[in-house]
């Protein structure tokens, strides 16, 4: 008779997939929580720097709008200041001539900026490369010159003044300490961030990534490329207009600089510093830019430009994903050093 084996079948090997997934989930949650925790803590610890913090939040939103167009859709533009400026002027003129309610003025600014983005996008998105880039520069330059000449409407080079902004919901008044403006900017940024996060992780956002990588192939599989680009360009314009409206309400002033080419250049530098196609790259880029500007300007009014320029060069050469790649680079160096140590 054959011997009956009492051996039980071997248990399947255990894996750490479940543990790794849970670890990754918690790590991602912590990564999302840190930027917003900093925003909240800054409100309580900033002291007299809340106005500076408000400007940082506004520029984060502005850079986030550019990231949707430039980073995710591959729309290389230097005319993002056009939408920022239109939003600022629309909010200011709405407060002066229609209603000082900040919520209504903000919504009006978003609508005007989105409409302008839709119209101009429909006209120029059939072009690509240098041609498109020059058209965006032409649009923002024409807007700048119009705002400079239309003194009766915009105040010209003196800026749009005399704005009155009512308390938000009739309760939260804009004061000299900047508390309401900061919270207002933070809430608006959070709303737009949620919208952006949902978009870039949707099938629509995935198609934008495909368009950025290979437009011809996306057309070949039946993707309406032009309509997708127009949609994200309009959304990007609306976000930039929202940032402009925040700027107008926070400062109660709109100057010509909101429509300058320098403004488009600054927001582009911020995004490159932080990292494109990362969403949080806008947070890092804007915060670092303002921090460097504020700290180094104490040494010399022009020294900070040199520092930012050197940082930009170093980021482009060594950090493909912007400053957010510092963690990844550090992790790689750590594992290399550990392997060399283990090898010894």
Residues 6+ apart with CB under 8 A from 32: none
How many helices and strands in the chain, by DSSP H and E? 14, 0
Checking if the pLDDT of 277 tops 60, the result is yes
pLDDT above 70 as % of the chain: 91
Task: Tell me the average pLDDT across 150-170.
Answer: 93
Query: What is the per-residue pLDDT across 189-232, written as a single tens digit (0 to 9) for each?
Result: 999 999 999 999 999 999 999 999 999 999 999 999 999 999 99
pLDDT value, residue 23: 62
Q: Which residue has the higher pLDDT, 10 or 150?
A: 150
Q: Do 168 and 106 contact (CB within 8 A), yes or no?
A: no
pLDDT value, residue 19: 59
Q: Do 54 and 185 contact (CB within 8 A), yes or no?
A: yes
Token digits for 146? 């119009």
User: Would the pTM count as exceeding 0.85?
Assistant: yes
Q: Indicate the pLDDT class of residue 20, thresholds 50, 70 and 90.
A: low
Give the phi and the psi of residue 260 in degrees, each rounded to 5.
-85, 155
Calculate the CA 98 to chain-centre distance.
Answer: 29
Q: Which of 286, 237, 308 is nearest to 90 (CA)?
A: 237
Domain residue spans of the chain: 46-258
Query: What is the per-residue pLDDT across 69-80, written as a single tens digit (0 to 9) for each?
Result: 999 999 999 999
- Residue 140, Cβ density class (10 Å: 0-12 exposed, 13-18 middle, ≥19 buried): buried
- Residue 62, Cβ density class (10 Å: 0-12 exposed, 13-18 middle, ≥19 buried): buried
Least trusted range by pLDDT, from 9-18, 290-299, 316-325: 9-18
Q: CA 109 to CA 162: how far, in whole Å?
A: 18
Token digits for 95? 């407060």
Q: CA 290 to CA 271: how far, in whole Å?
A: 13
- Residue 246, Cβ density class (10 Å: 0-12 exposed, 13-18 middle, ≥19 buried): buried
Q: CA 306 to CA 323: how far, in whole Å?
A: 18
CA dihedral 162, 54, 136, 134 (to 10 degrees): 120
Q: CA 268 to CA 136: how far, in whole Å?
A: 14
Q: CA 274 to CA 267: how far, in whole Å?
A: 11
Token digits for 41? 């803590």
Least trusted range by pLDDT, from 17-31, 115-129, 264-278: 17-31
Checking if the pLDDT of 7 tops 70, the result is no
Token digits for 287? 């915060």
Q: Do 299 and 72 contact (CB within 8 A), yes or no?
A: no
H-helix segments, 214-302: 215-220, 225-251, 261-274, 280-296
pLDDT value, residue 184: 97
């Amino acid at each position: 008779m054959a011997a009956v084996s009492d051996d039980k079948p071997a248990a399947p090997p255990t894996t750490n997939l479940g543990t790794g997934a849970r670890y990754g989930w918690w790590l991602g949650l912590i990564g999302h929580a840190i930027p917003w925790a900093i925003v909240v803590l800054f409100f309580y610890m900033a002291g007299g720097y809340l106005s500076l913090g408000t400007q940082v939040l506004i520029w984060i939103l502005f850079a986030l709008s550019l990231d949707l167009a430039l980073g995710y859709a591959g729309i290389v533009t230097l005319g993002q200041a056009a939408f920022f400026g239109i939003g600022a002027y629309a909010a200011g003129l709405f407060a002066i001539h229609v209603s000082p309610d900040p919520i209504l003025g903000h919504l009006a600014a978003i609508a005007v900026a989105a409409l302008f983005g839709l119209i101009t996008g429909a006209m120029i998105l059939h072009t690509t490369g240098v041609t498109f880039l020059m058209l965006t520069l032409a649009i923002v330059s024409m807007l700048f010159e119009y705002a400079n000449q239309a003194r009766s409407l915009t105040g010209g080079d003196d800026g749009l003044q005399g704005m009155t902004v009512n308390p938000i919901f009739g309760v939260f008044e804009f004061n000299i300490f900047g508390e309401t403006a900061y919270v207002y900017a933070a809430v608006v940024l959070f709303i737009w961030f949620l919208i952006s996060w949902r978009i870039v992780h949707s099938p629509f956002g995935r198609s934008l990534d495909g368009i950025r990588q290979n437009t011809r192939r996306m057309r070949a599989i039946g993707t309406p490329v032009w309509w997708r680009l127009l949609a994200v360009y309009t959304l990007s314009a609306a976000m930039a207009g929202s940032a402009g409206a925040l700027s107008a309400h926070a400062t109660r002033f709109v100057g010509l600089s909101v429509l300058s080419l320098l403004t488009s250049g600054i927001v582009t530098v911020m995004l490159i510093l932080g990292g494109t196609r990362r969403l949080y790259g806008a947070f890092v880029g804007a915060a670092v830019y303002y921090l460097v500007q504020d700290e180094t300007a104490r040494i010399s009014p022009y020294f900070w430009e040199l520092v930012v320029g050197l940082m930009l060069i170093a980021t482009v050469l060594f950090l493909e994903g912007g400053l957010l790649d510092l963690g990844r680079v550090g992790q790689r160096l750590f594992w290399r050093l550990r392997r060399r140590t283990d090898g010894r």
